[in-house]
Amino acid sequence: MSSVRATVLGQERARGRNLKLAVGLLLAVLAGPGVSALDNGLALTPTMGWLHWERFTCNVDCQEDPENCISEQLFMQMAELMVSDGWKAVGYEYVCIDDCWLASQRDENGRLKADPKRFPNGIQHLANYVHSKGLKLGIYQDVGTHTCAGYPGSYGYYDIDAQTFADWGVDLLKFDGCNYKNLESLKEGYRHMSFALNNTGRRILYSCEWPLYIRPFQQPNYTEIRQYCNHWRNFGDIFDSWNSVKGILAWTASNQESLVPAAGPGGWNDPDMLVIGNFGLSWEQQITQMALWAIMAAPLFMSNDLRHINPQSKSLLQNKDVIAVNQDPLGKQGYRLRKEKDFEVWERPLSNLAWAVAVLNQKEIGGPQNYVFSISVLGKGLGCSPACHITQILPEKKELGLYEWTSHLKVRVNPTGTVLLKLKPIQNESGCFQLPHLR
C-alpha cells in the first residue's frame, strides 16, 4: 500500500467512518497500476454510458420543445433504447443527467430537489426505472455555490447531497467546478464530496473536473486527484465540431507526459463526451474520435440522440473491436508516438503484449494519403518483435497479415480520418516469440 493511500485511509478512519467497500478495495488493489486509485472498486475500465450535455445542453423549455427538453421522459427514453438497440449489450451502462435538472431552490430540509414540472416523479423514480432496465443512473452537481448553469450548488451541503443521491439510488456523480470560492475550497470540496459519497455506503462513481479548474493557476497533482476521483476532466468542453475534437487531441498530446501515467484501473483522464452521431463531424472525423478515445483509454459517454441516430454512426459506436481496445484490462492510456508532416501515429499497449496503433491524417485538403512507416518503431520496438499479426479495425475490419520487425507498413488515410490497427505478437505453443516461417 502506498503512503498516499495509507494517508487517505488513515484520514478516513480518523473521521470515524467506514468505507464498507472491502471488495472494491481488493479489486482495485489487484488491478491497480503504479499509481493507486480511489478505492471504491468502480471504473476498473473506462466508464461507458450516455450523458445529456453536449446534445441537449440546458434546454428546459418543455412547452416549446417537449421532445428535447431536460426531463424524466428524455432519460427514460434513452434508457429504453440503450437496452432495445443493443447499446447495453456492448457495454454502455450509465444513463447520465447533466446540469439543469434541479429546481431553483432546495426543499425546506435543505435537500436538493428536481424541477417538479420536468421530473414530476422525482429522481428516485427515475433511478428505479433505469435500474429496472439493468442500467445505472448518473447525476450532476457542482462543488461551488451554483452549478455552471446557475442552479443551487453543493457548497456547504456536501454530506447532505451525497446522502440524498445515495437515498435516491444514484450510481454516478459528475461534480463540476463552477462558482467556487477559492482554489483551496475547490480542492477541499472535491475531497470532501469523495469522502461523503464513500460514507453513504453506496457505490457511486465519482467523475470530477478538478484539474480543469485549477490548471490555469497551478499544475494538477494527479497522484492526489486519483485518490479521490474515478475520472477527471482536464480540458474545456467538447463541441460538436472537428475543431473541438482536434483541439482536445492536440492538447492531450502536448500534455501526455503528465496525463498518461495518471491513468489506470480506477481512475482515468476524461477528454469529454463522444459527439458521434450528431451534426458537426464528418464520417472520417467520427472514426477519428472513436479510435483516439479508445487509444486514450477515455470514458465513453455518448452525447447524442439515440432516438434518431444514423446506422453508420451507431455501428461505429457499437464496434466491438474498438470498444475492446478502449476497455482493455491492462488499463494503460496510449500516447502520440510521432508527428510527421500531416500524419500522427498514436499507440497504446494492450494486454497479452498486443498494441493498438492509430494513424491520423491531419491534412484538411485533398484526397486519401499514403503513409509508410517502419514496423520497428511501434510498441517501444517490441510491438512486432520479431513479428506480429496486424488487423485493421477501422475504418473497416481487415486482416493485414504477418509483418516482421524489419518490414514497413503502408496505410492509406482519408483527410481528418484515422486507420486503427491492432498488433498481436507471434508466439509458439510454449509462449515464446517466433518468426512465422520458423514454426
What does the binding site for ligand GLA look like in residue numbers (CB under 6 A)? 53, 98-99, 147-149, 176, 209, 237
3-state secondary structure of 391: strand
Residue 200: Cβ-neighbour burial (10 angstroms; 0-12, 13-18, 19+)? middle
Cell of 412: 492509406
Cβ closest to ligand GLA, residue 57 vs residue 73: 57
Closest to 178 measured CA to CA, from 237, 138, 224: 237
- Measured from the CB atom, the residue of 56 and 158 that comes closer to ligand GLA is 56
DSSP 419: E
What is d(CA 173, CA 330) in angstroms, rounded to the nearest whole number? Answer: 25
| Phi (first) and psi of residue 79, to 5 degrees | -60, -45
Closest approach, Cβ 178 to ligand GLA, in A, equals 6
Output 53 or 293, the one with its CB closest to ligand GLA: 53
DSSP line for 124-188: HHHHHHHHHTT-EEEEEEESSSB-TTSSB--TT-HHHHHHHHHHHT--EEEEE-TT-S-HHHHHH
Is 305 an active-site residue?
A: no
Judge whether 223 and 200 are in contact, CB under 8 Å: no
> Which is closer to ligand GLA, CB of 237 or CB of 321?
237
| Residue in 142, 176, 305, 328 annotated catalytic | 176
List of residues 6+ apart from 222 with CB closer than 8 A: 35, 211, 258, 259, 261, 262
- Least distance to ligand GLA from the beta carbon of 316, Å? 22
Nearer to ligand GLA, 165 or 371 (CB): 165
Beta bridge partners of 410: 372
CB of 58 to ligand GLA, least distance (A): 6
| 409 backbone dihedrals φ, ψ, rounded to 5° | -120, 135
Cis bond upstream, residue 329 (ω within 30) = no
Task: Kindly list the distances between the CA atom of residue 387 and the CA atoms of 274, 314, 380, in Å, as whole numbers in the listed order.
Answer: 34, 34, 14
The amino acid present at 401, given as its one-letter code, is: G
Per the CB < 8 A criterion, the answer to whether 4 and 223 are in contact is yes
Identify each DSSP E strand in 259-299 by its residue range. Answer: 268-270
Q: Which is nearer to ligand GLA, 259 or 358 (CB)?
A: 259
Minimum separation from the CB atom of position 247 to ligand GLA (A): 14
Q: 3-state SS of the chain: helix, strand, coil percent to 5?
A: 35, 20, 45
Query: Contact 290/54 with Cβ under 8 angstroms?
Result: no
Choose, from 85, 159, 167, 237, the residue flagged as catalytic: 237
Least separation in angstroms between CB 140 and ligand GLA? 6
Residue 392 CB, nearest approach to ligand GLA (Å): 33
Cβ 42 to ligand GLA shortest distance, Å: 20
* Residue 240 or 344 having the CB closest to ligand GLA: 240
Closest contact distance (angstroms) between CB of 149 and ligand GLA is 4
Chain centroid to Cα 220, Å, comes to 19
The reply to whether 61 belongs to the active site is no
Residues with catalytic roles: 176, 237
